[in-house]
Structure 1
């Protein structure tokens, strides 16, 4: 009532009692206030026209928010004269982040290093039960081969692609996208650090892959 008094106080309005039967007033109230059975009933505090909020103004409920939680994965592989390395950065809900560096203790091409990065990232995401996952790689070849735009040529590329597809089939909703290198900086830096044998990683999770992932004798050591 106070809110309405403030809103209407600036107008010269006179209020006259309406001669009405009590039963008619009750009928009018029921007609105006009844919500159809097919819609959920929402009980709100009575407010003035400025204070009332719709469900859209209040934002989605907690169920809708949880359905939209999405993990992001940045992967990059590096192959050079100093060595070969993999960088993985996984972002989850509530600011959760894991950085993972993997040194390749074998000779690999740049494309093979990129595939090793993707496989390492997918394995990490699967271990952490990541739900919806968007994977970002700056390798045009790997992203397009995984998405079916490019054909894998050569027996090793075909084996890498097949292994990635097997992992994707065991996971939930995963989307692999190509991004420019400047949008993949942290994973790129980790991969380069992993390729340097003398680098001190500090607190980053670091392992050494002694054999290619497509070989049966693959093995990891810290």
Structure 2
């Protein structure tokens, strides 16, 4: 069942939803569910539409504020890679301790597997972090393969991915 069609046909709507229905009825809008959402797409969307909230924080809003605030110089790296039959690309977001964002997206001219694309994304992120002189880095990715191999919980069994793992270990050191 089409969610937009359901909303338009439902007669008991009021308020904001009914005004949306009136506005959407004027144009041809169809709901198409997406089969999969890659983590980087959400990450890229959030990076593009940052909310600059300058509302003052009240004392009682954060009861454990002293536990939540850190004064260290840890950077954060988010990475994701994707590959299909037509193209391959990587996306990286490097966030400084001062909440400055460095987004990077690269479309490769060569085809690799999805796992290799994830490795490529992590490599690009680590190389970028080295360029910025980052000493402490938290790494987040949606690939349990890469995360577990970086943290040495898993061993590399694929001969084609072994060079990636060796290079990642060199970058981390």
TM bucket by the smaller chain? 0.5 to 0.7
Aligned positions, number: 107
TM norm structure 2: 0.57
The aligned residue for residue 148 of structure 1 is 152
Higher relative contact order (CA closer than 8 Å, sequence separation 6+): 1
The aligned residue for residue 87 of structure 2 is 83
Whole-Å Cα distance in 1 between the matches of residues 136 and 96 of structure 2?
Answer: 10
Structure 2 matches for 1:25-104, cutoff 5 A? 68-104=72-108
The aligned residue for residue 107 of structure 1 is 111
CA RMSD of aligned residues (A): 1.9
Please give the secondary structure, in 2, of the residue aligned with 1:155: coil
Whole-Å Cα distance in 2 between the matches of residues 145 and 94 of structure 1?
Answer: 29
Contiguous gaps of at least 5 residues in structure 1: 1-58, 170-222
Whole-Å Cα distance in 1 between the matches of residues 158 and 80 of structure 2?
Answer: 21
Is the counterpart of residue 134 in structure 1 residue 138 in structure 2?
Answer: yes
Name whichever of 151-160 and 105-114 sits farther off.
151-160
The CA deviation string for residues 126-180 of structure 1, in whole angstroms up to 9 with x for no partner, is 10112311010100111111111111112221111000000111xxxxxxxxxxx
Judge conservation of contact 2:94–2:101 (CA < 8 Å) in 1.
yes
Contiguous gaps of at least 5 residues in structure 2: 1-64
The aligned residue for residue 128 of structure 2 is 124
Rate the CA distance shift 1:81–1:131 in 2: closer, same or farther, 3 A.
Answer: same
Please give the secondary structure, in 2, of the residue aligned with 1:93: coil
Per the TM alignment, residue 114 of structure 1 is displaced from its structure 2 partner at its CA by 0.2
Which 4+ runs in 1 deviate beyond 4 A?
none
Judge conservation of contact 2:73–2:97 (CA < 8 Å) in 1.
yes
